[in-house]
Amino acid sequence: MRIIKTKDYDDMSRKAAAIIAAQVVFKPDCVLGLATGSTPIGTYENLVKAYQNGDLDFSRVKSVNLDEYRGLPKENDQSYYYFMQDHLFRHVNIDPGNTYLPDGTDADSDKACREYEAIISGLGGQDLQLLGLGHNGHIGFNEPNDVFDKVTHCVDLTERTIEANKRFFASAEEVPRQAYTMGIGTIMQAKKILVVVSGKDKAQIVKDAFFGPVTPRVPASILQMHPDVTVVADADALSLV
Ligand code: F6R
C-alpha cells in the first residue's frame, strides 16, 4: 500500500486526478471503477479541466460505478446516476453507453445485482477502482459485518450512513434504506485501487483501516491485502498516523 500525503483537499484532488489521467493515457480503453460522495468531487473537477485543456480523451473509456440507491429513479438529483452525470459524464466525451451503474430502479434485487456483476466481468474487471472511505470503514456500501461480502448485493444502510447522507435529502426519512453495491470481492478484483480521503473526521478510520488489523468490522482494512493500492490523503486525514 502506497500512501501519498497531500497538503489539503485541493492538493489531494489534483494528485488523484493525475493518477486517473495517467491510467487513461496509458490505456485509452480502460475500465474505470468510479465512486460518488463528497471526497471525489474535486478529483472529477480536475479530470474535467484536463479534458477541456485537450489533455484527456474519454471516448474509449468504460466506467462502472460502485453503487446506487435502491428505488431512486435516475432523474432524482440524489441518485448516483445523476451525481455522475453532474460531476463528470456530461462534461467529458465519454460514451453514455459505456457508463454503468447498478440499476436502482430494478425492484428485483437479485436480478439487478447478478446483471451488474456480469457487466463488470464482461468488461474484464476494473483497471483502476476509485474509492472514498466511510467513517465506519465502509467502501462502496459494504458496511461493517461479520464477513466480507463478495459480489454485488443489496444492503440495508446503517443508521450512521443514513445520518451521514441525510444532509443531501430534505429529511432523514427520505434517505433510501437500501442500496445495490459492488461486493468486496468485486472491488478487490480491480488491478489497481485508488483511495481518496480528506479531513480530520476521517483520521481515526484511516488509522484503523490501513494500520489496524484486517477485519470485516472495518471493511476497508481488506485493502491492505491488495497488491496495488494507492491512498491519496490530506494531512488532516493522516494526522493520527
Ligand atoms: C460512494 C461510496 C461511499 C463513499 C463513502 C465516503 O460511491 O460508495 O463508500 O465513498 O461514504 O463518502 P464521502 O466521500 O462523502 O465522505
136, 142, 153, 234: the active-site residue: 136
117, 143, 149, 208: the active-site residue: 143
The set of residues, in sequence order, having a beta carbon less than 8 Å from that of 86 and lying 6+ positions away, is 77
**173 labelled catalytic:** no
Measure the CA–CA gap between 19 and 43, rounded to whole angstroms: 10
Q: What's the confidence (pLDDT) of residue 99?
A: 98
88 closest CA partner among 54, 119, 121, 46: 46
Residue 141 lies in a domain: yes
- Total residue length of the chain: 241
Residue 207 lies in a domain: no
Q: What's the confidence (pLDDT) of residue 162?
A: 86
Helices 41-52 and 9-26 pack at an angle, to 10 degrees, of: 50
Residue 209 lies in a domain: no
Nearest CA to ligand 1 atom 9: 140
In the beta sheet, which residues pair with residue 131?
A: 195
Closest ligand 1 atom, CA of 138?
A: 9
Residue 120 lies in a domain: yes
Amino acid at 6: T
Query: What CATH number corresponds to the domain at position 119?
Result: 3.40.50.1360
The DSSP call for residue 13 is H
Q: What's the confidence (pLDDT) of residue 47?
A: 98
Residue 10 lies in a domain: yes
Closest ligand 1 atom, CA of 140?
A: 8
| Span 95-122, pLDDT tens digits | 999 999 999 999 999 999 999 999 999 9
Residue 37 lies in a domain: yes
Q: What's the confidence (pLDDT) of residue 163?
A: 86
Residue 210 lies in a domain: no
Q: What's the confidence (pLDDT) of residue 239?
A: 98
Cα(53) to centroid(ligand 1), Å: 28
Q: What's the confidence (pLDDT) of residue 172?
A: 81
Q: What's the confidence (pLDDT) of residue 85?
A: 98
Domain extent for 46: 2-180+192-202+223-230
| Successive 10-residue mean pLDDT values, the chain, 241 residues | 98 98 98 97 98 98 97 90 97 98 95 97 98 96 93 90 83 89 98 98 98 98 98 98 95
Q: How many domains does the chain have?
A: 1
**136 labelled catalytic:** yes
CA-to-CA dists, residue 172 to 75, 136, 161, 223, angstroms: 20, 19, 10, 31
Cell numbers 466511510 correspond to what residue? Answer: 134
| Span 224-239, pLDDT tens digits | 999 999 999 999 999 9
Residue 106 lies in a domain: yes
Q: What's the confidence (pLDDT) of residue 173?
A: 83
**Environment class of residue 53 by beta-carbon count within 10 Å: exposed (0-12), middle (13-18) or buried (19+)?**
exposed
In the chain, the N- to C-terminal Cα span, in Å, equals: 14
Cα(175) to centroid(ligand 1), Å: 15
**143 labelled catalytic:** yes
**138 labelled catalytic:** yes
